[in-house]
Structure 1
Amino acid sequence: MTETAGPPGPDPSLIIVDDDKPFLQRLARAMELRGFAVETADTVAEGMRKVAERPPAYAVVDMRLEDGNGLDVIEQIRRRRPDSRTIVLTGYGNIATAVTAVKLGAVDYLAKPADADEVFAALTRDPTEKAVPPENPMSADRVRWEHIQRVYELCERNVSETARRLNMHRRTLQRILAKRAPR
């Protein structure tokens, strides 16, 4: 696929909703180079407002945003424009969330960090085609580590509270947190 290939169809409107501003800017630029007319938002509220003003043909929405859940934006897109092709990006993937996103109308679910080629492929894939398995999926150890880090952050970096919620010994958790992330 060439970098100048455009989106299919007459409406190339795309909204990208992500609170990681450097990633948001890079992805927006890459999608513009591929022919999309890009709008960006870094909060759920801003994403909802822009979707209400002009429902896009395509959307890339981060699952967890500072002011809420990206699923709210996906739900509004589905209500305002049922034919929109939406994909979900997240650093905290799990099966339940993926199922919810698909039920709300997302056509794909990509783990961060996703590159522009993966996003473009997901947005423009023929709906009857199955998604291609990732070349380098996260290892089970990495998925476990990511989950522990997420809970640790949600517990405001409180080791005792995190250990309690994960049902593990505090010292075991401390050893895990002291190590580097697995590949």
Structure 2
Amino acid sequence: MKKSLFTPILFVLVLLLGIVGCKKIENLLSFQVNDSSSFVVPASGLLNTTVLSLPGATVNSSSSGTYSANNTSADYVQDVTLDRLALTVTDPAGQNFDFLKSVKIYIASDNSGTNKTLLASLSPVPTGQISINLTPSGAKLDLYLRSGSYTLFTDVEVAQPVRQNTTVRADSRFNVKARLK
């Protein structure tokens, strides 16, 4: 009996199409949500190593629009993690992060902060930088990105007195996995 070369080639082609098809479906269900907010580190004559807990800053998330654009909704979100959190000094001009020794940012579903979870942190903060990237905590964040907003709480340890109010922008990028509607 003669074996056909056609059968193994057909099998390999079907297998490859299956793998490529699964990758496309996986990509449709994985996307990113980008949010931005600002907070102010108040001027103070506090001594080194003083920890300041700043008031919560509500973030109106872009998650709802991003979910819709990816043919899903908050109800279908299965896994959210922080991919990146960058802080940038926006005011006053010329200010850098030399006044900080460490920073921790927490996320909560509301302004009360009763269910806050560590989002990202950095210690020590490098000197001479106007923009820094924090280290994500790896926490599962589904609860916080299911609603249209969340609150960020910031704890900073100052390395030197803060001479003037300093505005900091926080740009976050979340990895989201969700099912299609």
- Which TM-score tier does this pair reach, normalised by the shorter chain? under 0.3
Q: Tell me the TM-score normalized by structure 2.
A: 0.25
Higher helix share: 1
Higher strand share: 2
Which structure has the higher relative contact order (CA within 8 Å, separation 6+)? 2
